[in-house]
Structures are given as structure tokens and as C-alpha cells.
């Protein structure tokens, strides 16, 4: 059982129903912002986009690896890609860069 499930199990039924009755407020963010400082989130590189998409796959294939080893494996996968295979991630990075520039101008 996960920690959150354990905590919910320890709560009384009344506490659980109160939490369910309170609706969460919708997010009022204009764009991607840094949670701590409220600054616009910087653009991610093509490698970061690749690692974000590959992380769950590598974790599923190698559940026993530590985070450092997973990142090492992702880096190795990235280095084995040719330019054509990297192109979708490069395009994502370019779009993210445009998003960042647009949001910075809006401030």
C-alpha cells in the first residue's frame, strides 16, 4: 500500500468525506511558471524532452536501477540516435523555446 493510501486508511470516514466534498480550485496560471518564485519556466532542451518521454520506459524495463543509472542509460540511448531520430525532440525544444520567449514578453 502506498503512503497516501495508508494515510487515507488511517483517517476516519468523516475526514475522508470532508476532503471529497471540498472542490479544488482551478489553476490560475497564465503559463508555465516556477512554483517557488512565480517566474516563467525556462525552455527545455531536446535531450530533456527525450529523457522525459523515455524515463517511464527505462524504469519499466529496469525497475532495479537507481536514478543515476537510469539517467546514464537514457544518455546512452540519446547518443545512439541519429539526427533523423532526434528531430522530433529538436522540434519540441524549438516550440518550447518559442513558448518561453512569448511568455517572457507577456510579463
The pLDDT tens digits along the chain (107 residues) read 444 444 445 454 554 444 444 444 444 555 666 666 778 889 999 999 999 999 999 999 999 999 999 999 999 999 999 999 999 999 999 999 999 999 999 87
Give the whole-angstrom CA distance, residue 86 versus residue 54.
13
Q: Which pLDDT belongs to residue 33?
A: 65
Q: Which pLDDT belongs to residue 55?
A: 96
What are the structural domains of the chain? 38-107 (1.10.30.10)
Neighbours of 90 (CB within 10 A): 15
Q: Which pLDDT belongs to residue 1?
A: 45
Phi, psi at 40, each rounded to 5°: -65, 135
Q: Is the pTM of this model over 0.95?
A: no
Whether the CA torsion 15, 20, 26, 31 is positive or negative: it is positive
Amino acid at each position: 500500500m502506498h503512503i497516501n493510501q495508508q494515510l487515507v486508511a488511517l483517517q476516519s470516514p468523516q475526514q475522508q468525506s470532508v476532503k471529497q466534498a471540498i472542490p479544488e480550485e482551478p489553476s490560475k496560471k497564465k503559463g508555465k511558471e516556477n512554483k517557488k518564485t512565480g517566474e516563467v519556466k525556462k525552455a527545455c532542451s531536446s535531450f530533456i524532452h527525450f529523457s522525459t518521454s523515455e524515463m517511464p520506459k527505462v524504469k519499466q524495463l529496469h525497475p532495479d536501477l537507481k536514478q543515476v543509472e537510469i539517467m546514464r542509460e537514457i544518455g546512452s540511448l540519446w547518443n545512439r540516435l541519429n539526427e533523423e531520430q532526434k528531430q522530433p525532440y529538436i522540434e519540441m525544444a524549438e516550440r518550447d523555446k518559442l513558448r518561453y520567449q512569448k511568455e517572457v514578453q507577456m510579463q
